[in-house]
Amino acid sequence: MGSAFARALLAEGIETRVWNRSPEKVAPLVAAGAHAPESLAEAVAASDVVIVNVIDYAAADALLRMLAVERALAGKVVVQLTSGSSRQAREAGRWAAERSIAYLDGAIMATPNFIGGAETTILYSGMRQAFERHRDVLRVFGGNGVFVGEDAGHASALDTGLLTQMWGKLFGTLQALAVVRAEGIGLEAYARYMRDFQPVVDAATDDLIARVGEGRWRGDAATLATIEAHYSAFHHLLAIGDEHGLDRALPAALDGLFKAALAAGHAADDFAALVRFIERGGVRHAA
């Protein structure tokens, strides 16, 4: 990913310095026109914007908080594109502010092959002024570079939320494929009918987001299906899984949410009410 960022900068003719703990890894970038200072502190001192992309925040902290590097960072802009939690991003933001370092935390919503694309999304949070000042450089990485808030943790939190949606779909698809394969149905048929069904899923998702945002938990005339109705259909997943000996881990977790809501008297409420059983406090919060 770091190499992809460097190549995107070089493609735009932007003077770029690269540093890696393994010097041989930057050789192709040097061949492409990048400079490779001998030390990280030297690279930082010669740069206005410092892009960080390493394995985790522990690795980033070990590098950025070396005394020589920390001193060189004063007055610079650090763009942290290492994957981490919202708590880690806020801690890094506080650390930077105490040292007069402008800080942006970024969430890369793409794989390396998408870096530099006009539609590629990267979310940024932290110091708005730093984002605005260096917007043109940041958009070299992705044309849809978006500032999402001054709380440094918000880019990471949105990243987690969006990835959760992706994992939900991927795990749901795996469960569905296991059912289809167990029944001897061709996957091409599943793929075809899933495409036909997708507009219904998208509309239900949009409705869910709107209801949670407005706090409309109760079933009403516009409810697409109550919790009770969903659970009635959900029984079929449990039954067919048991019939074919499929793993119960994922359905059992969802079954637990349904049962908690039903036990608390929410059978006639909208599916959106289940969010309150996921949030802190569980049944007590959702009553």
Helix then strand count (H, E) for the chain reads: 14, 5
Distance CA 37, CA 45 (A): 10
- pLDDT recorded at residue 22: 87
**27 pLDDT band (50/70/90 cuts)?**
very high
**281 pLDDT band (50/70/90 cuts)?**
low
Give the residues across from 77 on adjacent strands: 49, 102
Q: Give the mean model confidence (pLDDT) for residues 249-266.
A: 95
Contact between 286 and 273 under an 8 Å Cβ cutoff? The reply is yes
- What percent of the chain is predicted at pLDDT more than 90? 95
CB neighbourhood size of 280 (10 A): 7
- pLDDT recorded at residue 196: 96
